[in-house]
Amino acid sequence: MGVDTWESKINDLPYGLYLYLVDNDSTGSSVIGASGDNVFSCFYAPYVRIEDLEYTRIPYDTVRFGKVTEVRPELTYEPMVNRIKAIKHGSRFFDVRPKVYNAPISLEGQRRWQNESKLHTYPYTYLTLFDGINEPFNIKPQYCKGNKMDIGVKMSLDDKLTTSLFIQNYKGDTHGRFEGLVTGSNLELPTTSSNYANFISRTRSTLLQNSKNIQENFIVNNAVAENNYETARDTSILSGGVNGLSNILSGNYAGLLGTGANLLGSAISANNSLSNSRMVNAMNKNMALKSLVSTVADAKTVPNTLISKGSDIMYGLRNMEKYLKLFKFRQRDEYMEVIGDFFAMYGYAQNRLMEVDTKSRQYYNYIKTKEVNILTSSIPNVYLDKLKAIYNNGTTIWHVDNPDVLPLNYSKDNTEVSEW
């Protein structure tokens, strides 16, 4: 069991909040509900593992926040809490490595749109990393490195325990500094403030002192009544004694008898007065204690106050079954086939300065240029201009030196020669 120093620093900077880990312990919610306004916020942290955190297991601070058992009588003991100190593992990777591209379909050399690599890139195909709660992370496959996707998670220590999911080497970003799925306030859980817990924590000392004052007032009032009784008794005896002596000296024996009767009556009156004072004091004490108990009972009946209504996290968790999922989106098959036919016949724009390779494909190459430059001294300019016009307008070059090539036959899978 650890000891809490109440020092709060994050990244070597003073931090005005204390962070606690609420695990699957059944007392966790009781601690939150019993802490009143001391709970600032509560966040769900699905990507943080307990082993990622450095924390100290300490007793709940009953001195500062009051006893949980007073607010949650169903608990028979004061629970333990986990005070977060630091993050041990700032980043890690998931074990699952999903594929970016599907394997080509082999149909004995027949052309299918599924084998056209361009159709497996954005905007024809894209991937989405989504947990149902945070903003989805849309991924363009052409910016991933290789065919395996390494999904990492980075964590920070703050009041939201913000995390970021990223793809390693996406757009050349090794550590996910620029793009990813970032958690935030979407993971906030509803938090209420217990009026009773706040009342107890704010007035604990006052309640104890009021109860003590009631007891002390009762004792003092009884002592005053006792003192008044003794004073009245002594005064009556003294007065009776003086009167009796005077009657004896004067020979007034009838007066002496009356003096004795007066002494008896005074004693009875003093006793009655003492009994009445004691009864009144007891009644006042009971009424004061009942008023104190009623004040506490009234605080219990006041509903909790909503501190934060949280987010739509419950719907998101149910909708996605508490899973992080990778979705693939693309055009419908019939549209992909139309686009694939177009790419097969006319290719797709490179939009860059490059040396034209007229034999990069197995059966044919479609070449279209803009202001092509052909370096040669053996072709007359009149024919060279016509050749440039052919390339600038676009042309298909069939590789008839390959015996398997049949011009105008687009049914074959025109793979790149480098793949063979």
pLDDT digits (tens, 9 = 90+) for 223-244: 766 766 566 555 554 444 444 4
Four-point Cα dihedral 174, 180, 186, 188, nearest 10 = -10
What pLDDT is attached to residue 269?
A: 56
* Whether the predicted model's global pTM rises above the 0.85 cut: no
What DSSP element (H or E) covers 286?
helix 253-301
Angle subtended at Cα 124 by Cα 119 and Cα 128, rounded to the nearest 5 degrees: 115
Provide the pLDDT confidence category of residue 384 given band limits of 50, 70 and 90.
very high
Give the per-residue pLDDT at 397: 96
The answer to whether residue 212 scores a pLDDT higher than 80 is no
CA atoms within 13 A on the CB side of 411: 5
Report how far residue 187's alpha carbon sits from residue 328's, in angstroms, rounded to the nearest whole number: 25
User: Average per-residue pLDDT in the chain?
Assistant: 77
Distance CA 356, CA 372 (A): 9
Nearest to 127 by CA among 104, 106, 148: 148
Q: Which residues pair with 231 in a beta bridge?
A: none
Give residue 254's pLDDT. 47
**For residues 392-396, average pLDDT:** 96
| Closest to 343 in 3D by CA, of 335, 332, 354, 352 | 335
Judged against a pLDDT cut of 50, whether residue 349 lies above it is answered with yes
Give the C-alpha separation, 257 to 412, whole Å.
145
Residue type, 31: V
Contact 418, 361 (CB under 8 A): no
Contacts of 151 (CB under 8 A, 6+ apart): 93, 94, 96, 97, 98, 129, 165, 166, 167, 168
Look at the block and give the residue holding tokens 């509900």.
33
* 299 pLDDT higher than 60: no
pLDDT of residue 238: 44
pLDDT at 368 over 70: yes
**Other Cβ atoms closer than 10 A to 302:** 12
Q: What pLDDT, on a 0 to 100 scale, did the predictor assign at position 191?
A: 65
Could you tell me where the DSSP H helices lie in 83-159?
A: none
Task: Kindly tell me if the per-residue pLDDT of 300 is higher than 70.
Answer: no
Dihedral, 162, 167, 170, 175 alpha carbons, nearest 10? 50
The mean pLDDT of 73-95, rounded to a whole number, is 80
Q: How confident is the model at residue 328 (pLDDT cuts 50, 70, 90)?
A: very high
pLDDT, residue 50, reads: 85
Give the Cα separation of 191 and 159 in Å (integer): 14
**Are the CB atoms for 417 and 360 separated by under 8 Å?**
yes
**Helix count and strand count (H, E) for the chain:** 8, 16
So what's the pLDDT on residue 205?
65
What percent of the chain has a predicted confidence (pLDDT) above 90? 30
pLDDT at 167: 95
